[in-house]
């Protein structure tokens, strides 16, 4: 446990949805020297800001979670920003972290890096066997380059860089903005508002046949801190729940939990995204002992209850 008490940490994105959960988990393990840079002070797309951050914070370990993220709609509207911003933030920070003598760099990648038609369940060895799903390919490829960079820097310099691939996240504190939210918070908000307004129907994107795997945010945080402490290889590692559900079944489950009695209308003119998404999670369990513990039904109920209270 001296890993947490003896090191100084920078957690980019540490004030966000996942980052807040990671910082809480780190503190529970004894970490006290944690710096969470804010974009107003350190715009990580700017090289000078990256240098200032490293000079000011002098970290031993960096957990890099800062990212420009969003659902299918946001990815389609802003592919250039999703590529450029994520690439610049990550590649400059990793390079300068190595130059500054940082001991360990933990990159949080994305399941969107996988090829569109990856065999199910997705195994880490399949990550290069095809092009990502088109609607989020710029984002997925920008994050994927950090895997290449981390492996190259370990090979040439012995730099301790690891790369984690969390699946779709959900939980209390998620982004419920309809312009940029992912599927679970978007549906929760739609059904709650439709129920309040007495609407007879809710429109859902796509056909509902696509499937997704979801990981509760506190479980994801647990996986990240375990990997930061215990994992010392550059092979990518999936973080998931190994539970797959169709968007149609997910939508019906949320409707029932919210208590909306109207109809669901499927807008097939909107994209489904990747056809299926389910991870092989055996590497995480074998390498650093991570296995998710929150059932999907329990996590979904907590998320709905949190949003109702937060409103």
| CA dihedral for 22, 26, 27, 33, sign (positive or negative) | negative
User: Would the pLDDT of 75 be above 90?
Assistant: no
CATH at 25: 3.40.50.720
Res 48: pLDDT: 98
In a domain, 132, yes or no: yes
pLDDT at 16: 95
Say whether pLDDT at 272 is over 70: yes
**H, E, C per residue of 129-195:** CCCECHHHHHHHHHHHHHHHHHHHHHHHHCCEEEEEEECEEECCCCCCCCCCCCHHHHHHHHHHHHH
Domain contains 299: no
CB atoms within 10 A of CB 181: 19
Determine what percent of the chain is predicted with pLDDT higher than 70.
100
Q: Give the pLDDT confidence score for residue 1 in this predicted structure.
A: 66
What is the predicted pLDDT for the residue at 214?
97
The answer to whether position 104 is within a domain reads yes
Q: Look at residue 71 in the predicted model and tell me its pLDDT.
A: 76
Enclosing H/E stretch for 237: strand 237-239
CA distances for 255 relative to 202, 211, 245, angstroms: 10, 17, 15
Share the mean pLDDT of the chain. Answer: 96
Confidence band of 172 (pLDDT split at 50, 70, 90)? very high
Out of 45-54, 89-98, 177-186, which region has the weakest mean confidence (pLDDT)? 177-186
Whether residue 305 is contained in a domain is answered as no
Residue range(s) defining the domain that contains residue 89: 2-173+213-244+276-294
Query: Strand 211-216 and strand 244-246: pairing?
Result: antiparallel
Average pLDDT over residues 4-24: 97
Q: How far apart are the first and last CA of the chain?
A: 39
pLDDT given at position 68: 87
Q: What is the pLDDT of residue 273?
A: 86
Q: Which of 42, 84, 131, 139 is catalytic?
A: 139
The tally of domains found in the chain comes to 1
Q: Is residue 135 part of a domain?
A: yes
pLDDT at 277 exceeding the cut of 70? yes
Hey, which residues does 63 pair with through a beta bridge? 11, 106
| The residue to which tokens 């949805």 are assigned | 17
- Residue 275 near residue 148 (C-beta atoms within 8 A): no
Instruction: Calculate the CA 126 to chain-centre distance.
Output: 19
Residue 126: pLDDT above 70? yes
The model's confidence at residue 19, banded by pLDDT at 50, 70 and 90, is very high
pLDDT band for position 73 (50/70/90)?
Answer: confident
Mean predicted confidence (pLDDT) in 109-123: 95
Residue 184 lies in a domain: no
pLDDT at 180: 82
Active site residue 114: no
At 85-103, the pLDDT tens digits run 999 999 999 999 999 999 9
Separation of alpha carbons 128 and 106, rounded Å: 20
State what percent of residues in the chain have pLDDT above 90. 92
User: What pLDDT is stored for residue 40 in this prediction?
Assistant: 94
Averaged pLDDT, 51-79: 92
Q: How many CA atoms lie within 13 A of 58 on its CB side?
A: 1
Residue 196: the pLDDT is 96
Amino acid 302: pLDDT: 98
Note the pTM of the prediction, 2 decimals: 0.94
Q: Is residue 288 pLDDT above 70, yes or no?
A: yes
**Residue 203, domain member (yes or no):** no
| Angle at which helices 247-258 and 296-310 cross, to 10° | 50
Residue 288 lies in a domain: yes
Tens of pLDDT, residue by residue over 246-267, are: 999 999 999 999 999 999 999 9
């Amino acid at each position: 446990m001296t890993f947490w008490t003896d090191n100084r940490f920078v957690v980019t994105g540490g004030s966000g949805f996942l980052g807040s959960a990671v910082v809480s988990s780190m503190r529970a393990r004894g970490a006290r020297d944690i710096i969470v840079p804010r974009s107003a002070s350190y715009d990580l797309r700017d090289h000078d800001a990256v240098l200032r951050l490293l000079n000011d914070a002098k970290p031993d370990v960096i957990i890099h979670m800062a990212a420009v993220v969003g659902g299918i709609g946001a990815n389609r509207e802003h592919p250039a920003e999703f590529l450029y911003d994520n690439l610049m933030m990550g590649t400059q920070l990793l390079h300068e972290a190595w130059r500054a003598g940082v001991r360990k760099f933990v990159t949080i990648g994305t399941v969107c890096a996988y090829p569109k038609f990856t065999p199910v369940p997705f195994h880490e060895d399949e990550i290069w066997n095809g092009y990502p799903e088109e609607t989020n390919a710029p984002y997925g490829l920008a994050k994927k380059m950090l895997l290449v960079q981390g492996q190259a820097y370990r090979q040439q310099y012995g730099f301790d860089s690891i790369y984690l691939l969390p699946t779709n996240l959900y939980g209390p504190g998620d982004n419920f903005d309809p312009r940029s939210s992912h599927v679970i918070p978007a549906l929760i908000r739609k059904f709650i508002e439709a129920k309040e307004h007495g609407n007879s129907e809710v429109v859902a994107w796509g056909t509902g046949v696509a499937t997704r795997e979801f990981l509760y945010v506190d479980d994801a945080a647990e996986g990240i801190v375990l990997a930061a402490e215990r994992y010392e290889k550059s092979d990518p590692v999936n973080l998931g729940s190994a539970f797959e559900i169709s968007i149609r079944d997910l939508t019906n489950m949320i409707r029932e939990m919210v208590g909306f009695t109207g109809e669901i209308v499927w807008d097939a003119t909107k994209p489904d995204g990747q056809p299926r998404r389910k991870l092989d999670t055996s590497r995480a369990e074998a390498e650093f002992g991570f296995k998710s513990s929150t059932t999907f039904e329990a996590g979904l109920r907590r998320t709905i209850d949190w949003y109702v209270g937060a409103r």
